[in-house]
Amino acid sequence: MLFLSITFITSDLEKKFAYNEIGNIIRKHRKGKKLRLTSLAETSGVSIAMLSKIENGRMLPTIPTLFAVIGALGIAPDTFFSELGRHNTFPGYVFIPKTEYASFVKEENAKGFHYFSILEHHIEGTSLQISLLHLDPGAKRKVVTTHAYEYIYLISGTIEYALGDQTFHMREGDSLFFDGNIPHVPLNKSDKIATLLVFYLFNEA
């Protein structure tokens, strides 16, 4: 019975749920209990770096890791999984008014990064997330990696996009597609806000 349950959950994680969906739920419960990442790392035995990547939607936790985290948060597995996949049905179209764009945090120590989730959807073994990013002048964060392919379209402003050992000077209308496993970070060295459309394509098959 336990083997069948784990198999079912593993299949769900790999095929139905976006990385950020799992991370958002974990972050919500952690903050609800007023726990810092350091405290959750100590009680769960999962490193701060890994917890940060999970919460930021940059990696999918293994089943043992996920159970360690939700156990440390005091969340019953059935409660946690009931929160996943509540909006996964697709009627053939999705209309999202601007007022429904949901703001979220990808890196807690980042300054000047304002993300808004536009669309999150699962399509035959893949998950798509589309976000709007307003990048303040002088915005700062460390370079990161994401277990996904990313497509960046610069709507307005000018930025420098550091990708591995290369830097791309992007102007309005420029785009960049890359493997998110390459360390990356956008830099806004101008005196105006830059606006980016960011697509994440997660392969969960």
Q: What is the pLDDT of residues 40-95, one digit of tens each?
A: 999 999 999 889 888 877 777 888 888 899 999 998 887 887 777 555 566 666 66
Output 86 or 110, whichever has higher pLDDT.
110
Residues 157-191: tens digit of each pLDDT: 999 999 999 999 999 999 999 999 999 999 999 99
Distance between CA 149 and CA 34 in Å, rounded? 33
The domain made up of 98-203 is a member of CATH 1.10.357.10? no
As a CATH number, domain 2-82 is 1.10.260.40
Q: Could you give the percent of the chain with pLDDT greater than 90?
A: 40
Q: Say yes or no to pLDDT of 131 above 60.
A: yes
**Torsion angle of the four alpha carbons 18, 49, 81, 104, in this order, in degrees rounded to the nearest 10:** -60
Distance between CA 56 and CA 30 in Å, rounded? 13
Q: Could you give the percent of the chain with pLDDT greater than 70?
A: 79
Q: Say yes or no to pLDDT of 198 above 80.
A: yes
Q: Tell me what pLDDT residue 5 has.
A: 38
- Please give the biggest Cα pair distance in the chain: 59
Listed by start position, the domains of the chain span 2-82, 98-203
CB count within 10 Å of CB 183 equals 14
pTM of the model: 0.59
H helix or E strand, kind and range, residue 62: none
Region 131-154: what's the mean pLDDT? 92
Q: Say yes or no to pLDDT of 143 above 90.
A: yes
Cα Rg of the chain (Å, integer): 18
